[in-house]
Chain A
C-alpha cells in the first residue's frame, strides 16, 4: 500500500482530523518563519534581464493549482519517503532548496497571494494543503534520516545528510591543494564558472546549485559537498541545443576548506562561514557525476591531480561556450518567454521527483496552468516587485496581519507569512477540499526536444522513464536499504556491513574493496 493511499486528501473519502490539521499548521508555521528569515537575511532579488518578481508570482500561482495533483500522481509510483531515500545519495536536483523549501513555500505563498486577492478563503483546498504538507514532512524526514531533523533550519542551519561510508570515500579520494598550485587555481576558476552558469541556466535563481554539509575532516578542515545540476540537455527546454556539447548534466564537487567554519548552510543550500570563506582557504577537491542511473557518485577525472586539473579546465571551457550561447538566446527572448522560463524554473524546481518515480511528463511540468496564466496581465514589474515585497518581506498583506498581542519569530511584529488552516472546519464550517485536476496549460517557449542527458548517454523521455523504473541501486535493495547509521555503529564487524561499505567503495581510487576496516586498503 502506498503512503498516499493511507492519507486523507488523496481520495477525499475520509474527513480531515484534528491531528492532521495540527500537523499541517505546524508545517505551515515552520515554513513561514524560515521563509521570512531567508528572504530578509539572505538576498534581494533583482535582474535587468529577467522580470524576476513577476515570474515568481506567476510560478507561485502555478504551484498552488498544480502541485497537489502532480504529487499525488507521483505517489502512485513511489511514496514521498521512498523518493527521499532514492535520491539522497546522488547529486541531482532534489535538494534542501527544492524539496525542503521550494515545494512547500511556493505552494503556500501562491495560496497566500490568492488569499490577498480575495480569490480564496483560508479553508479552501484544505485537503490539498494538508496533503502537500504531509508529503513534504514525509519526504523531509526521509531525506534527513541520518540526522533526524526536518530541515536545515531545524538543524541550526546545517545539512549533514550523507552516511559515513560515502564520506569516507569522499575524504580519502579528495586531492589536497594549496594556493599557487594548478589544481587549486583550476578548482576556483571552475567553481566560479559553474556557479555563474548555474544562475543563468536557472533564469536568475540559485536552484541549479546546492551545498550540503559541512562535514568535519580534521581539527582544521571542513568539507562541503557542492552540487551543480541540470547543466546539459535536461528537462529544462531552454537548454536544448545550446548545451548539446556539455558532457555532464550533474556534477558534484567535494570541497575541503582550511581555517574556516561553515556556520550556516541554509534551506536554500547556500553557505556562510566564520571567518568568511576565501579562495586561499580551499584545501582539497574531488569531482563526481551522478544521476538516477548511477549507484551513487561516479568519479570524474579523478585518476590523478593532473588529470583532475585538466578535467576541471576542460569543463570550465565547455560551460563558458554554452553560457554565451544560452545568454544570447535569452537576451533575444520576449518578456513573456522570460516570464515563462522563470516561472517554470520555479514551478518545476521539484520536477526531478517525477523523474525518480519514472513518471515525468512534459505537460505536467513545463506548462502554465490557465488558472495561473489568467493573472499574467497584472504582473507588471512594479506591481510584482511591490506585491512580492509585501508577501515575503514586509508581511503587510491583510491576511498576514495577526492579533496585536502576537510577536512573530524573527521580527516580533504581529504578522505571519502564511495563514494556517482554520480548525473551524472540524466544527462544521464548510470548506472546499481541492483545487481539482490540473488543466491543459500553455507556454510561449519552444517545445522540449526529446533529449535527456544521462550517464547512459542521451535518452528519449520514454527511454529515460523506463530506465529509471528498471533500475534500483544495490544500496537501496531491501537487503541494504534500512541498514542505517545506528545499525552500522553496532554491527561494523559483520560481513553484511562490510558488503554495504564495499558498494560505496566500488569507484574509489583509494578504498575500493576495503569494507568497514579503518585506514588505507
Chain B
C-alpha cells in the first residue's frame, strides 16, 4: 500500500539518516494502520487514525532504533539525566576540570607571539570594542556549576566558556561574567543578544582548542561584529582567541 505522499516526483530522502529512519518507520506505521482500519484515507486521517496511531506505537519506533545499539546525542542535560538508557553518556563536568578542554577540529592555532599569546581559536564577535579583553577561562556547562557560582559568587575576570548558545542555563550568573566565549550559536542567538544588552564582550560560534580551566585568555573584541549578510552569504569574519603563556 502506498501513501499519497509516497508518490513524490521531486522529493528525496531526508538529509540525516536518523530522520530518514524515523520518518520511514512512521510512514510504515501509517500504512499498516490505514490497512488495519479498513477505511479510506478521508475517514482515516482525522478519524480512525486518532485511535489507531497511539503513543505506544511511537514508543515502539523509538525502542526499535535504540535496540540497534544507537544512542542519541543530547543537547539538554535533562534528557540524559532522565533517560540515560537511550542517550550517549554525559561528560563529567565536575571532576575533570583540570584536564578538559574544548577541541574543535577547525580551530586555528599558532605558536606564541612576541607578547606570549598563542592562537587557539576563532569566534564571531557580537559587538566591536575599542580594546581586546583578557580574563581567566572558566568552563560553565551544567546546572550544578551554575548553582555552585550562585552560592559561592563568580570570581572576578571570569571569561565564561560555554557550549550553550541559549539564554537560560546561565541566567542567574550571566551578568557577573567579564566576557564570554560560546562554542555554538551565532551573534543573534539568545546568549549573543543578552551579552550585547549587558555590555559583556562575547564571541559566539567559537572554534577553540587547548584552553583549560584557569588559563588566561585574550579575545579579539576589536574585530568587526559579524553581520547578518555575512551569515547569509557564508562570509567568515573571524575574531581571534589567544591563550596567554603562563
Contact = CB atoms under 8 A, between A and B. Distances in A.
A381 interface: yes
B68 to A, nearest CB: 14
Contacts of A335: 76, 78-79, 81-83
Interface in B168-212: 168-169, 171-172, 174-175, 184-186, 188-190, 193-194, 196-199, 205
B199 A279 contact: yes
Interface in B52-100: 53-55, 57-59, 61-62, 72-79, 81-83, 86-87
A401 B230 CA distance: 26
Contacts of B205: 44
Given A47-B164, A52-B166, A118-B5, A196 B175 contact: yes
B30 interface: yes
B50 to A, nearest CB: 6
A377 B61 contact: yes
Interface stretch (A93-101, A429-437, A472-480, A511-519): A429-437
A160 interface: no
Nearest to B197: A192
B135 to A, nearest CB: 19
A374 B72 contact: no
A46 B18 contact: no
Interface in A150-199: 188, 191-193, 195-197, 199
Contact of B76 (A51, A125, A197, A376): A51
A282 to B, nearest CB: 11
Interface in B19-76: 19, 22-23, 26-27, 30-31, 41-42, 45-46, 49-50, 53-55, 57-59, 61-62, 72-76
Contacts of A376: 55, 58
A488 B77 CA distance: 56
A124 B46 CA distance: 9
Interface string A317-335: 0000001100110110111
A46 B189 contact: yes
Given A115-B5, A323-B172, A383-B72, A44 B184 contact: yes
A435 B34 CA distance: 17
A376 B75 CA distance: 16
Given A50-B166, A397-B14, A383 B186 contact: no
B69 to A, nearest CB: 14
A200 B175 CA distance: 14
A118 B189 CA distance: 32
A192 B199 contact: yes
Nearest to B141: A48
A54 B82 CA distance: 15
Given A46-B184, A118-B6, A324-B150, A40 B232 contact: yes
B245 interface: no
B15 interface: yes
A333 B78 contact: yes
A47 B150 contact: no
Interface string A40-59: 11111111111111100000
Nearest to A384: B75
Interface of B: 3-6, 8, 10-16, 18-19, 22-23, 26-27, 30-31, 41-42, 45-46, 49-50, 53-55, 57-59, 61-62, 72-79, 81-83, 86-87, 127-128, 141-143, 146-147, 150, 163-169, 171-172, 174-175, 184-186, 188-190, 193-194, 196-199, 205, 225, 228, 231-232
Given A43-B185, A51-B76, A122-B5, 13 more contacts: A52-B75, A53-B75, A54-B79, A119-B53, A192-B198, A278-B199, A323-B171, A335-B83, A338-B76, A375-B58, A381-B87, A390-B14, A401-B11
- Identify the 8 closest CB pairs spanning chains A and B, nearest first: A398-B11, A47-B166, A199-B167, A118-B27, A51-B76, A382-B72, A192-B197, A374-B55
22 contacts: A42-B228, A43-B185, A47-B166, A49-B143, A49-B166, A51-B76, A116-B5, A118-B3, A119-B30, A188-B197, A192-B175, A199-B168, A279-B199, A331-B147, A334-B78, A335-B79, A373-B55, A374-B54, A374-B57, A377-B62, A387-B19, A436-B46
Interface of A: 37, 40-54, 115-122, 124-125, 188, 191-193, 195-197, 199-200, 203-204, 206, 264, 270, 272, 276-279, 323-324, 327-328, 330-331, 333-336, 338, 370-371, 373-378, 380-383, 385-387, 389-390, 394, 396-404, 410, 414, 430-432, 434-436, 439
